Amino acid sequence: MYLASDNIGPALPEVMEALTAANQGHAKPYGNDPWTERASAALRALFEAPEASVHLVATGTAANCLALATMSQPWQAITCTPLAHIREDECHAPEFFTGGARLNPVGQAGDKMTVLELDAALSGLPQGVVHGSQRGPVALTSVTERGQVYTLDELGALCDVAKAHGLKVHLDGARFANAVAALDCSPAQMTHELGVDALSFGATKNGCLGVEAVIFFDPSDAWELELRRKRAGHLFSKHRYLAAQIEAYVKDGLWLDAARRANAKAARLVAGLRDLPGFTLAADPQANMIFATLPRATHKRLFDAGAYYYIWEGELEGKDPDEPLLMRLVCDWSIPEAEIDRFIETARNVA
């Protein structure tokens, strides 16, 4: 009953088959191969952005940080939410890659920022004063760290505020496919049509072995990102193995189908847990992540029964068996429905 993360499941069979096919003979290195050409063309077609520049890396950290480094200067502030992945889970990699740009957290709720909060934060940064941070890009997330999804109207309004201040927008799309599936929109509608300048297009969490794409919808920054990628040690010599994954991932809508499966399984899971004693949702799930509380004693019994997930807030080893502890449950494309039903049944038996 593995529900800890969508990082821990297997790769899609189609992706593995594409890697096996790419593992024949020789090919030019560093992205000068037919797989990279085809994968880049496929992403441009998917996003309806024929001029976009596409750059593949192996990790989400590299994708986010190389994009933000290209979009900012060391003396600028990158505006994000307090719980943004780039602030909470990147080990200060954005500051490292940017050479010192500061992350400027905005929003009292922590998970999503509002238009008023963003405008106030940007307006509050003194411009032209040598003693203070200068305004830098706005960093948003398509599925937040608490499993919420910005609507297209919300994203568009935030992009409008950024543009009004003359700033670029980066979208962390580690779970971009899950957000598109949840909103039933096109990739273009959720990115450059709203004013998003750069996207970290996630694939690893949704069925790839290990690849992410940095997409700049305005190619004017392409050369700088190429240099930064090489300088940071993220330009693969055997680049075809990254490209083959992306090519298979977007072919025939596989990426979206996998995300829809993951979202549907999360919906099945939460439906089965809603009336469980002591179960309280932190917020209604909107993609493939569930945040909810259960009593400490129920958590312990679930772990003893073989469940694997993360306690997000609180300590499992505490004295009060009735204290509610916040957990995170995540479904990926591959988890069998029988495993979801087994978790639900187990939870009912031990609650």
Q: What is the CATH number of the domain that holds 21?
A: 3.40.640.10
Each residue's pLDDT, cut to its tens digit, for the chain (351 residues) gives: 999 999 999 999 999 999 999 999 999 999 999 999 999 999 999 999 999 999 999 999 999 999 999 999 999 999 999 999 999 999 999 999 999 999 999 987 668 999 999 999 999 988 889 999 999 999 999 999 999 999 999 999 999 999 999 999 999 999 999 999 999 999 999 999 999 999 999 999 999 999 999 999 999 999 999 999 999 999 999 999 999 999 999 999 999 999 999 999 999 999 999 999 999 999 999 999 999 999 999 999 999 999 999 999 999 998 899 999 999 999 999 999 999 999 999 999 998
Residue 248 domain-assigned?
Answer: yes
Distances (CA, A) of 351 to 296, 340, 346: 10, 16, 8
pLDDT of residue 319: 86
User: Could you say which DSSP state residue 208 is in?
Assistant: -
Residue 6 domain-assigned?
Answer: no
- Residues 90, 154: one domain? yes
Residue 7 domain-assigned?
Answer: no
Residue 2 domain-assigned?
Answer: no
Supply angle C-alpha 81, 86, 87, rounded to 5. Answer: 60
Structure tokens at 112: 């999503």
- Residues 203, 230: one domain? yes
pLDDT of residue 12: 98
- Residues 120, 231: one domain? yes
pLDDT of residue 246: 98
pLDDT of residue 111: 85
Distances (CA, A) of 244 to 210, 215, 268, 307: 11, 17, 32, 34
**What is the full DSSP assignment across 105-165?**
E--SSSS---HHHHHHHHHTSPSS-TTSPEEEEEEEESB-TTS-B--HHHHHHHHHHHHHT
Picking from 235, 254, 273, the residue at the C-terminal end of a domain is: 254
- Residues 66, 198: one domain? yes
pLDDT of residue 39: 98
Domain of 155 in residue numbering reads as 13-254
Supply angle C-alpha 167, 170, 174, rounded to 5. Answer: 170
Gap between the Cα atoms of 176 and 213, Å rounded: 11
- Residues 216, 321: one domain? no
The CATH number for 301's domain is 3.90.1150.10
pLDDT of residue 108: 74
- Residues 32, 149: one domain? yes
Q: In terms of DSSP H, where are the helices of the chain? A: 13-22, 34-46, 60-71, 85-88, 93-98, 115-123, 152-164, 176-183, 222-231, 240-250, 254-273, 296-304, 337-350
pLDDT of residue 13: 98
Q: Say how many domains are in the chain.
A: 2
Whole-model pTM: value is 0.96
Gap between the Cα atoms of 32 and 162, Å rounded: 36
Neighbours of 209 (CB within 10 A): 18
Distances (CA, A) of 312 to 15, 95, 283, 328: 31, 25, 14, 6
Structure tokens at 273: 């847990």
Residue 326 domain-assigned?
Answer: yes
Helix, strand, or coil here: 76?
strand
- Residues 134, 269: one domain? no
Residue 231 domain-assigned?
Answer: yes
Nearest Cα residue to 350 out of 274, 275, 297, 279: 297
pLDDT of residue 318: 87
- Residues 183, 195: one domain? yes
